[in-house]
Amino acid sequence: IRDQGFAKGDPLAVAELAGVQAAKRTWELIPLAHPLALTHIEVTCTLNLTKRRVDITASARCRGETGVEMEALTAAAAAALTLIDMCKAADRAMTVTDLHIVEKSGGRSGTYRRPAR
């Protein structure tokens, strides 16, 4: 990934784009979810050479009184799956781990911050 030797392009950039696209279509993937007017979606894929992994973060916002945590989780998951798809020829043992909500605010349930581990 660091040397960008992939025929399909830069895996990190493509994964970020895939995450944004997936967030916009969450309502089609998650049963009983509904379309939301997202005002912001950002996906960041960072190569962590020390730990030999890619760290993916996703954030989402919308106007209204509903949460967008499923949109952010869907974005992160789609980015991870895209990385596996693009890089599977280089490493078939890739694993997706630790998909979780770090912080959430707004909506009916209010603010949530994941405890440090």
Concatenating the DSSP letter of every residue in 16-73 gives HHHHHHHHHTHHHHSTT-----EEEEEEEEEEETTTTEEEEEEEEEESSSS--HHHHH
Whole-structure pTM value: 0.90
Q: Number of structural domains, the chain?
A: 1
Within a domain: residue 91? Answer: yes
Within a domain: residue 54? Answer: yes
Q: Compute the C-alpha angle 77/62/20, nearest 5°.
A: 30
Domain extent for 52: 11-113
What pLDDT, in 10s, does the model give residues 29-83? Answer: 999 988 999 999 999 999 999 999 999 999 999 987 788 999 999 999 999 999 9
Within a domain: residue 5? Answer: no
Query: Is residue 85 annotated as part of the catalytic site, yes or no?
Result: yes
Within a domain: residue 3? Answer: no
The single residue of 3, 55, 85, 91 carrying the catalytic annotation is 85
Q: What is the dihedral of CA 108, 67, 26, 11, to 10 degrees?
A: -150
Within a domain: residue 2? Answer: no
